[in-house]
A = this chain, B = another copy of it.
Amino acid sequence: MKRIAILGSTGSIGRSTLSVVESYPHRFEVVTLAAGRNIDTVREQACRWRPRLVSVASEADAGRLRGQLKAEGLSRIEVVYGAEGNVRAATHSAVDFVVSAIVGVAGLEATYEAVKAGKSVGLANKECLVAAGELITAEARRRAKPLLPIDSEHNAVHQCLRGGRLEEVTRVWLTASGGPFLSVPKEKFASLTVEQALNHPTWKMGRRITIDSATLMNKGFEVIEACRLFNLPPQQVKVIVHPQSTIHSMVEFVDGSILAQFSVTDMRLPILYALTYPERIPSELRFEVSDLRHLDFCPPDMDKFPCLGLAYEAAQAGGAKPVALNAADEVAVAAFLDARIRFTDIAKVVEGVLAETPNRKFESIQEVLLADAAARQSASKLIEALRTNPPLPHSASVMSQGD
């Protein structure tokens, strides 16, 4: 029986994790849940799973939830709140395995504390590796505790890496669907609309990650995650466009062998893998190999997708740069979604913030959070400047009016 904490239980990964737990009632026990402001859902989850502790966002929400659980005869479930509450959920003495799925930098501290407390951790929060990857992975290595990736690409890499030792790896190849603008010429990028950018060809996801897929920034984040998770320099982490997203990633070994992983595109699979590693247990998540027909690949166009190059630069620099990359991108994507800047401005904002960010390393999550806030402020200023001093409409925008 593996006793688990789910940080971010009401989000997509949190709910998928509970769906996996539901399928294997004799294998997993839900010990703690940490959620945000979705009190109705976390109350239902608490009633269904009877954890020992639940953490919510605010003191007021905690009080309300306590009352509701008491009415259900579940007053033995401890209800806590805030950042400290998340840490308590993550480090509870009865927990073996922590699923880190709180969105954004809010998940950093609890995840770091879980690793420091010697828990095995499944990582679904990208900031844990992009912004705090050096701190978190160093701690996990020091304790020889696994960090198991809960996303298709890194989970695929983790599986392929079983085919050899880390020192035997030449390159990791992350596959990218290429997003909705794979075959749109660069000249039209400045005039791309929010609706066009939200129309991802293969994955239905949240709005920010959908835009990050359209700019390939999401793949850039994954490059940084792979560098941290597998302790590889950026030049050993490559991206290849694969529109069908069937192969989730590949690992190339020194002898010239390449291993690739594929499966249905269902997050329950990497979750199950992380929860049961090094075992594999039967699931209903079947990819019908006999239905395979065509797989296509091409190299990414670094010129059309400058965010990918910016991510490589940040990966190489480490420390403050990836923090700034993530923070600036989040602010820039929000501005694009509000139609305050153009699609091509996202990369410009990120590039500007990266240039302003000093090269430095961090010793604590607190320092990471301060750098994150500073980068957000820089990004907001750059966005304002772009709005008050818009560049002259260039030929691409003019041309695209004829579409």
Nearest residue, chain B, Cβ from A273: B255
Chain B contacts of A343 at CB under 8 A? none
B283 touches A254 (CB 8 A): yes
B293 touches A297 (CB 8 A): yes
* CB of A77 closer than 8 Å to a CB of B: no
* Cα–Cα distance between A293 and B263 once the two chains are bound (Å): 20
Nearest residue, chain B, Cβ from A171: B289
* CB of A373 closer than 8 Å to a CB of B: no
* Cα–Cα distance between A159 and B256 once the two chains are bound (Å): 12
* CB of A290 closer than 8 Å to a CB of B: yes
- Copy number in this complex? 2
Chain A contact residues: helix, strand, loop or mixed: mixed
Please tell me which one of the listed residues B165, B255, B283 contacts residue A256 in the complex, with CB atoms under 8 A apart: B283
Chain B contacts of A203 at CB under 8 A? none
Nearest residue, chain B, Cβ from A297: B292
* CB of A362 closer than 8 Å to a CB of B: no
Nearest residue, chain B, Cβ from A257: B263
Produce 1/0 per residue, A226-267, CB < 8 A to B: 000000000000101000000100101111111111111000
Tell whether A255 pairs with B285 under 8 Å between CB atoms, given A163-B162, A280-B164.
yes
Chain B contacts of A293 at CB under 8 A? 296-298
Produce 1/0 per residue, A276-292, CB < 8 A to B: 10011111111101101
Chain B contacts of A280 at CB under 8 A? 164-165, 168, 253-255, 257
* CB of A299 closer than 8 Å to a CB of B: yes
Tell whether A173 pairs with B289 under 8 Å between CB atoms, given A254-B283, A255-B283, A256-B283.
yes
* Cα–Cα distance between A255 and B282 once the two chains are bound (Å): 5
A261 touches B257 (CB 8 A): yes
A260 touches B257 (CB 8 A): no
Produce 1/0 per residue, A71-111, CB < 8 A to B: 00000000000000000000000000000000000000000
* Cα–Cα distance between A249 and B296 once the two chains are bound (Å): 18
Q: How far is the CB of A305 from chain B (nearest CB, A)?
A: 16
Nearest residue, chain B, Cβ from A168: B280
Chain B contacts of A259 at CB under 8 A? 159-160, 163, 259-261
Nearest residue, chain B, Cβ from A264: B256
* CB of A295 closer than 8 Å to a CB of B: yes
Q: Given A162-B164, A258-B263, list of 12 further CB < 8 A pairs? A: A159-B259, A164-B280, A240-B292, A252-B289, A254-B281, A256-B269, A256-B283, A256-B286, A257-B262, A258-B287, A293-B296, A295-B295
- 16 A-B pairs with CB atoms under 8 Å apart are A162-B162, A162-B164, A168-B279, A171-B289, A238-B290, A250-B289, A254-B281, A255-B269, A256-B284, A256-B287, A258-B262, A258-B289, A260-B262, A290-B299, A293-B297, A294-B297
